[in-house]
Each structure stands twice: as C-alpha cells, then as structure tokens.
C-alpha cells in the first residue's frame, strides 16, 4: 500500500467549462421553469387538490435520500474501519453536500410561497416532522463539511472518528425523518407505515451508492485515473446488497398490506389495475431498479465490465425515480377511503368516484425544475473536484489500502 | 383706559361664536359615527377567543336531499370561492381538480345493501387535527373554540397539511386571485379550508352560510352549535340521535358529526 495522494480534477479547460456550461444551461432552464410556475401559479403544473406533491418532489426526495446514501462510503471507512473505503471518503462527503443542496433547492422552489422561506426559518412547529427536517438538513450540511475538514486537514485528523460517527448517526436520523414525512401520515393508506422510514434508509444506501459510483467512474475515466478491480468489486457487491435490501423491504411492505383485508383495494389497484402506477411499480421499481441491476452485478462475466456496472448504476437510479414516483404520487392518487364499504357515486371534489384515482400527469416545467436540482448537485460536485483535492490520484489495486478481508484473496475472488 | 379694555374683552362677536358652534357640530357629526361604529365593531374582536365553547356541526344525512347543493353554493358565495375563475388556457377538467372548494356534496352507496346516502363533506374540525401536527410553521392551527384554520401570513404553501388531512378538506390556491372579499382574504400559493364561517363567529353572529342555506331550502340537514354547552340544541340532539364521526378509527374527535352513515 502506498500513501494516497489526492489531486484536483485536471481535465482540459475546454472540457471542464463545456461540462459546466451544459449543467448551467439545465439549471438555467430550471430557474425559468420556477419563475413561470411561481408567476402564474401552480395551475400550470400537473398538481391539483388530489395529488398535491408532484414530479418536483420525486426529484427532491430522490436527491435528498441519495445525499445521505452517498455519505455511506465515508462512513464505512471511518465508522466501520474498512481502510479500502478511506480514499473514497472525500468524494463521498462532497457528493452528500451537493446532492442535498440540489434536493432542497427543488423542494423550496416548489413551495406555493417560496419568498416566505424566512417564515419557515423563524416559525417552528416542533410537532411537525417537516420542521425537524429543516434542522436535520442544515445540521447534516454543517456536520459533513466539518467531516470533510477532518479528512482533508492534518489538524482535523484527531476529530475524524468522532465527527464521522456523528455524521453517520445524523444521516440515519435524516433519512428516517424523510421516510417519516410519509410514514407518519395516517390519512393515506399507502403511507401510515413505520416500515417506510427504514425502507427510505435502505433506498438511500442504494441510490446514494449508485450516484457515487457513476460520478467516481466518470471523473476517473475522464482523466485517465486508474480504478483497480478490487475497489470496483467492493463497490458493485455493496450496491448489489443494497438493491436486494430495497427489494426485501418492498416485499415486506406489500406482504403486510396484503395480509389485512382493509388494504386489499389499495394493493389490488397498485399491483394490478393502477395503470401507470402498476407499470412503474413492476417495470420501474422491481425490474429496472431491482432485478436487472442485481442480474448484472452478480453476473460472473458482466459484473467485471465497467460499462455493465455503469449500466447497473444507471438502472438503479432510473428505478429509484420510478420507485419514488409510485411512493409519492401513486400513494396520493389512490383515493382516501373515507367511507369503507361504500362506493362513491358522485362527488363535487374528486373523492374517488367509483374508485377513480386522483388525476395527475407531469408537466414540462415540473420535470425541468427537478432536473435543475440534479444539475445544481453536479455543478457543486464538478467545481468541488476541480478546485479542491477530493479525488485520489489512483485507486489501483497496489495503491488502495489492504483490507482485512483481502488478506485471503481466494475466498473473495468470486461474489458469494 | 382700563374701562375701555374691559369693555373690548367683554365684547363678543356673535358671528364668530356661531361659526365655532357649527364647526364643532359638523366635526362631531362627521367623526362620531366613525368612532362609535369602530368601537362597536372592535368590541367583540378585541377579546381573545376562549375555549368556553367548541363549535361544531351535526349533519342528518336522512334530511340531506340528493341533487340539492344549496350549502355548496352558499359557502362559495359567503367565502368568495365563486370569485375564482378558470385561468385562460386551462382545460375545464383540470381546472375542476385545481379550484378550491370548502364544502362538497358526496353521494355514497353501500356495497352490501345498496343503500344510497348523500351528505356534505368539509373540514371536520378535529380536536387533534393532523394538519396542525404536520404544519412546519404553525400556519395551520386550531383556535381555542375548536375551529381549525390557516394563518395565511404564515403559510408557505408546502401542502403537507393536504397530505395529512384524512378528509381531503383542504384546497391550494393554484391561480392568481382577482377580486376578493374583505372578510375572506385569499392568496395564490396558500392553503385554505372551511373555517366554520369564522368571520361570523368573530362578530357574534349565529350559524354558518351552509346551515342557513340548508334551512332556507327547508331541509334543515345541518345544525350548527356549541358542542360544549349541554343545553345547546346541537348537544341535545347529539344526545338523542345516533351519530358518528367519519374515520372515527383515527380518534381525532371531530367537531362535525354525521347521523345516518
């Protein structure tokens, strides 16, 4: 093992500014979309009084949970003492902050009254999990920035372990809080489940790692920095475990619902007759976000190829967006059961007449706003790795620290 | 010399005196009603709302007539909801899902027996309102007299209360507002819902717009009153009549009760 050297991302200025330009253009479109939606009012979006949170929330929640998940890599190195992950810690911290910024921006820009953000910062109702999240999110940023300092500065070294543990506990609290935004809602059948909080945690593990791996592979490939098979194998196996974990939680969630007769209507609708939501559940959530990446990541040949791993990560991200679309929008579209055992024949306010789901179709400004959050997260990341020493020079097998498990290489040559 | 002075001091210009009198009279006539009226108007509102009362509704679905929507029309008029207009270019179908409604008629059929019921649905004014629990800024609040409403100066338009309401009682203002009622201010990007005609409460008036309209139609399906006063007509009727809360499994202790569902 050699000393890990971190170096700025030294791609050609033309390429660097080109990447930034494209990202800035996407972010600019999002600002225009924001201005349009706020100026005219939310009637130009697909959102309505039945489906009150739409596509921006899908992107925002994805980015926020991916942020806490991206920090996992640093935590594994610091908290769980796996030296092989240590060189990846800085990028992990940077991505965590960047993704959270992107997600929060989308959330704020979708408020009916974004100019009243100051109200949200001066008036708190502590029985609201939303109010708690304001502290969890800002606290997360502060702690992760401190964590980065302990990783990068010699003087911070002694604090690395305690700050790392704090960051780890905090990120668990943060994702639990994000899951609880939905899990605490007794009003809607598809929410009102404690399992949503740990499910969001495992989802954050998977999505955060997928984003982390894509960024790592892209930045390394673009500058020709080497990544050895050891690190690759570690990361892709970890991603496989997380993706399988998401599927497991999905299974338990639906089995629980299916067991009780009162949720038969919801499950029948979501799993069989829910149209776009059924499609997104089976094809997006289960197949694209679960089974396909698992197949690639544990395939004896494909899992060794970089491009296939990139494909698996991309599938996890696409599947993740589909998952959140089903969780956030599908759960609202299913009508609230105010009168169990009765069918609604007529309603003056779209109460699910004859079981009709609430209407929603995403509009272009909503999608642009969501993509803007992604662009902002990537701008922060790209500028960060360009001007500061976030990326290790090499992750070749001979360079990365020896892990206790790699001492007997043979046993781990193939994934279990 | 001295006498002259005394004489001039004593001399009074009668025209001047008359002018002063008229001026004083006119001033009093102009200002006094304003001051008095203001004092009268301010009197009931200058006292804080107390929890000596808890306002609520009792809806007798047996008296609620299929096809009648007088309560909805009256609420729309009373609370300026009829001043909403479909934004230019919006499809009528989509607008229908986006316009605000504080009260709506719902028609149900029992899956087993086929019995059909119609009833009005609105904010149920819970004792433990989920919308108040989840509101990050405290804009969604419950008054001491049990009315659940939104402080539109604090509402940031996050819509979490709409996610949390088990009765789908809340509406988001999706469009720019033109022309408003002084008693019911409304702003784009804020959430609102039935507040039991709170402006009437604050002026000590009886009843709500929906109750009046239902009575005017001769149906008397909705009764308004103080749930805390055992002698009030609503409490007396609740004591006699079987009634229930919608979604009573949630234990929210709603202020709106239904009989016949």
pLDDT for res A410? 55
Mutate to test the interface with A, among B89, B130, B135, B163 (most CBs of A within 10 A): B163
- Render pLDDT for A337-357 as a digit per residue (tens, 0 to 9): 999 999 999 999 999 999 999
Q: What is the Cα–Cα distance from A349 to A343, expressed in whole angstroms? A: 15
Contact list, A126 vs chain B (CB under 8 Å): none
Residue from the list A116, A127, A345 with its beta carbon closest to the beta carbon of B133: A127
Question: Are the beta carbons of B134 and A112 separated by less than 8 Å?
Answer: no
A6 half-sphere exposure, CB direction, 13 A CA radius: 17
Q: What is the Cα–Cα distance from B70 to B135, expressed in whole angstroms? A: 32
pLDDT for res B23? 78
Task: Give the number of A-B residue pairs with CB atoms closer than 8 Å.
Answer: 185
Q: What is the Cα–Cα distance from A58 to A56, expressed in whole angstroms? A: 5
Contact at 8 Å (CB) between A339 and B246? Answer: yes
- Render pLDDT for A4-26 as a digit per residue (tens, 0 to 9): 899 999 999 999 999 999 999 99
The model carries a pTM of: 0.90
Mutate to test the interface with A, among B81, B89, B134 (most CBs of A within 10 A): B134
> Tokens 């890990």, residue?
A4
pLDDT for res B206? 86
Q: What is the Cα–Cα distance from B206 to B217, expressed in whole angstroms? A: 18
pLDDT for res A126? 94
Residues linked to residue B106 through DSSP beta bridges, in sequence order: A347, B119
3-state SS, chain B, equals CHHHHHHHHHCCCHHHHHHHHHHHHHHHHHHHHHHHHHHHHHHHHCCCCCCCCCEEEEEECCCCCCCCCHHHHHHHHHCCHHHCCCCCCCCHHHHHHHCCCCEEEEEEEECCCCCEEEEEEECCCCCCCHHHHHCCCCCEEECCCCCEEECCCCCCCCCHHHHHCCCCCCEECCCCCCCCCCCCCCCCCCEECCCCCHHHHHCCCCCCHHHHHHHHCCCCCEEEEECCCCCCHHHHHHHHCCCECCCHHHCCCCCEEEECC
Q: How much is the ipTM here? A: 0.92
> Helices marked H in A41-113 — which ranges?
55-70, 72-78, 89-109
Question: Are the beta carbons of B104 and A358 separated by less than 8 Å?
Answer: no
Q: What is the Cα–Cα distance from A378 to A385, expressed in whole angstroms? A: 10
Distance in Å, alpha carbon of A322 to nearest chain B alpha carbon: 20
A412 lies in some domain: no
Question: Are the beta carbons of A346 and B189 separated by less than 8 Å?
Answer: no
Check whether B149 has a pLDDT greater than 90. yes
CB proximity A123 to B under 8 Å: yes
- Whole-angstrom CA distances from A262 to A50, A250, A416 are 21, 19, 40
Residue from the list B72, B87, B110 with its beta carbon closest to the beta carbon of A43: B87
Q: How confident is the model at residue B203 (pLDDT cuts 50, 70, 90)?
A: confident
The first and second tokens of residue A93, run together, are 């911290």
Q: How confident is the model at residue B48 (pLDDT cuts 50, 70, 90)?
A: confident
Question: Are the beta carbons of A40 and B87 separated by less than 8 Å?
Answer: yes
| Edge-first strand listing for the sheet containing B103-110 | A342-347, B103-110, B116-122
Kind of pairing between the strands at A6-7 and B191-192: unpaired
Q: What is the CATH number of domain B55-259?
A: 3.30.70.20
pLDDT for res B9? 54
**Biggest alpha carbon distance in chain A?**
73
- Whole-angstrom CA distances from B1 to A68, B11, B13, B114 are 101, 15, 21, 110
- Render pLDDT for B67-125 as a digit per residue (tens, 0 to 9): 999 999 999 999 999 999 999 999 999 999 999 999 999 999 999 999 999 999 999 99
Could you list the residue range(s) of the whole structural domain that residue A358 is in? Answer: 6-339+350-403
Kind of pairing between the strands at B256-259 and B55-60: parallel
Question: Are the beta carbons of B157 and A344 separated by less than 8 Å?
Answer: no
Mean pLDDT score of chain A, rounded to an integer?
A: 94
**Biggest alpha carbon distance in chain B?**
113
* Helix A55-70, helix A129-152: angle, nearest 10: 40
Find, in chain B, the residue whose alpha carbon is nearest to that of A54: B159
B221 half-sphere exposure, CB direction, 13 A CA radius: 25
Residue from the list A53, A112, A188 with its beta carbon closest to the beta carbon of B189: A112
Check whether B42 has a pLDDT greater than 60. no
Q: What is the Cα–Cα distance from A216 to A227, expressed in whole angstroms? A: 9
Q: How confident is the model at residue B11 (pLDDT cuts 50, 70, 90)?
A: low
pLDDT for res B247? 96
In chain A, the percentage of residues whose pLDDT exceeds 70 is: 96
Q: What is the Cα–Cα distance from A399 to A2, expressed in whole angstroms? A: 5
CATH (domain of A144): 1.20.1630.10
- Whole-angstrom CA distances from A47 to A33, A50, B235 are 15, 8, 40
For residue A156, give the 3-state DSSP assignment: helix
Contact list, B69 vs chain A (CB under 8 Å): 348
pLDDT for res B253? 97
pLDDT along chain A (416 residues), means of 10: 86 97 98 97 97 98 97 94 93 97 97 93 93 94 96 91 96 95 95 95 98 97 94 96 98 95 94 97 98 97 95 98 98 96 95 95 98 98 97 92 60 52
- Render pLDDT for A144-162 as a digit per residue (tens, 0 to 9): 999 999 999 989 889 999 9
Question: Are the beta carbons of B137 and A125 separated by less than 8 Å?
Answer: yes
Q: What is the Cα–Cα distance from A210 to A202, expressed in whole angstroms? A: 12
* Contacts with B, A 322-351, CB within 8 Å: 332, 336, 338-339, 341-351
A188 lies in some domain: yes
The first and second tokens of residue B7, run together, are 């004489």
pLDDT for res A416? 46
pLDDT for res A213? 97
CB proximity A3 to B under 8 Å: no
pLDDT for res B32? 64
Concatenated DSSP letters for A296-334?
HHT-TTGGG-HHHHHHHHHHHHHHHHHHHIIIIIIHHHS
Number of domains in chain A: 1
> In 10 A of CB A329, how many CB atoms?
25
The first and second tokens of residue A317, run together, are 């991200």
Per-residue exposure over A278-294, b if at least 16 CB sit within 10 Å of its own CB, e if not? bebbbebbbbbbbebbb
Q: What are the extents of the domains in chain B?
A: 2-45, 55-259
Residue from the list B69, B130, B191 with its beta carbon closest to the beta carbon of A187: B130
Contacts 24+ apart (CB under 8 A), B46-49: B48/B144, B49/B143, B49/B144, B49/B145, B49/B201
Question: Are the beta carbons of B246 and A339 separated by less than 8 Å?
Answer: yes
Mutate to test the interface with A, among B84, B89, B108, B119 (most CBs of A within 10 A): B108
Mean pLDDT calculated for residue range B167-182: 94
Question: Are the beta carbons of B138 and A187 separated by less than 8 Å?
Answer: no
Q: What is the Cα–Cα distance from B175 to B187, expressed in whole angstroms? A: 9
A230 lies in some domain: yes
Distance in Å, alpha carbon of A354 to nearest chain B alpha carbon: 10
């Amino acid at each position: 093992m050699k000393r890990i050297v971190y170096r700025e991302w030294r791609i050609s200025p033309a390429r660097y500014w080109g990447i930034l330009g494209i990202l800035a253009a996407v972010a600019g479109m999002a600002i225009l979309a924001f201005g349009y939606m706020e100026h005219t009012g939310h009637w130009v979006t697909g959102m309505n009084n039945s489906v009150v949170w739409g596509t921006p929330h899908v992107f925002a929640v994805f980015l926020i949970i991916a942020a806490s998940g991206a920090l996992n890599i640093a935590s594994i190195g610091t908290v769980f003492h796996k030296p092989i992950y240590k060189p990846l810690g800085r990028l992990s911290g940077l991505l965590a902050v960047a993704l959270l910024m992107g997600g929060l921006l989308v959330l704020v820009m979708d408020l009916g009254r974004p100019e009243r953000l100051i109200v949200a910062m001066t008036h708190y109702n502590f029985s609201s999990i939303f109010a708690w999240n304001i502290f969890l999110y800002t606290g997360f940023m502060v702690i992760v920035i401190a964590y980065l300092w302990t990783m990068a500065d010699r003087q911070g070294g002694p604090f690395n372990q305690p700050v790392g543990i704090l960051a780890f506990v905090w990120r668990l609290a943060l994702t639990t809080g994000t899951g609880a935004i939905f899990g605490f809602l007794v009003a809607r059948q598809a929410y009102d489940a404690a399992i949503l909080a740990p499910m969001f945690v495992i989802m954050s593990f998977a999505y955060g790692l997928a984003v982390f791996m894509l960024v790592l592979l892209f930045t390394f490939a673009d500058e020709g920095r080497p990544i050895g098979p050891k690190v690759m194998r570690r990361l892709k196996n970890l991603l496989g475990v997380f993706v399988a974990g998401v599927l497991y939680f999905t299974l338990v969630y639906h089995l629980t619902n299916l067991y009780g007769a009162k949720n038969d209507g919801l499950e029948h609708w979501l799993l069989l007759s829910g149209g776009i939501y059924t499609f997104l559940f089976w094809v997006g959530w289960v197949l694209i976000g679960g089974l396909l990446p698992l197949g690639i990541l544990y395939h004896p040949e494909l899992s060794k190829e970089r491009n296939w791993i990139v494909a698996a990560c991309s599938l996890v991200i696409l599947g993740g967006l589909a998952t959140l679309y089903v969780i956030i929008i599908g759960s609202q579209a299913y009508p609230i059961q105010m009168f169990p055992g009765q069918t609604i024949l007529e309603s003056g306010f779209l109460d699910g007449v004859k079981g009709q789901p609430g209407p929603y179709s995403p509009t272009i400004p909503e999608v642009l706003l969501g993509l803007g959050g992604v662009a902002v997260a990537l701008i922060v990341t790209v500028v960060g790795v360009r001007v500061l020493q976030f990326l290790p020079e090499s992750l070749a097998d001979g360079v990365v620290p020896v892990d206790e498990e790699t001492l007997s290489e043979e046993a781990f040559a193939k994934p279990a | 010399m001295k006498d002259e002075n005394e004489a001039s001091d004593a001399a009074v210009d009668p025209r001047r005196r008359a002018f002063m009198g008229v001026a004083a009279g006119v001033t009093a006539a102009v200002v006094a009603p304003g001051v008095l009226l203001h004092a009268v108007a301010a009197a009931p509102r200058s006292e804080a709302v107390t929890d000596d009362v808890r306002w609520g509704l009792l809806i007798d679905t047996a008296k609620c007539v299929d096809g009648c929507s007088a309560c909805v029309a009256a609420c729309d008029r009373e609370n300026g909801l009829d001043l909403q207009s479909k934004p230019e270019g919006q499809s009528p179908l989509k607008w229908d899902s986006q316009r605000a409604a504080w009260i709506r008629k719902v028609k149900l059929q029992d899956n087993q027996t086929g019995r059909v019921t119609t009833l009005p649905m609105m904010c149920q004014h819970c004792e433990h309102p989920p919308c108040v629990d989840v509101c990050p800024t405290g804009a969604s609040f419950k008054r001491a007299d049990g009315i659940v409403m939104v402080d539109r100066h604090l509402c940031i338009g996050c819509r979490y209360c709409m996610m949390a309401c088990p009765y789908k009682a809340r509406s988001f203002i999706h469009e720019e507002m033109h022309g408003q009622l002084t008693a019911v201010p409304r702003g784009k990007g804020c959430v609102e819902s039935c507040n039991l005609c709170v402006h009437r409460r604050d002026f000590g008036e009886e009843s709500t717009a929906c109750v009046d309209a239902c009575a005017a139609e001769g149906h008397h399906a909705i009764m308004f009153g103080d749930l805390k006063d055992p002698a009030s007509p609503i409490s007396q009727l609740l004591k006699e009549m079987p009634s229930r809360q919608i979604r009573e499994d949630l234990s929210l202790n709603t202020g709106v009760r239904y009989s016949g569902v």
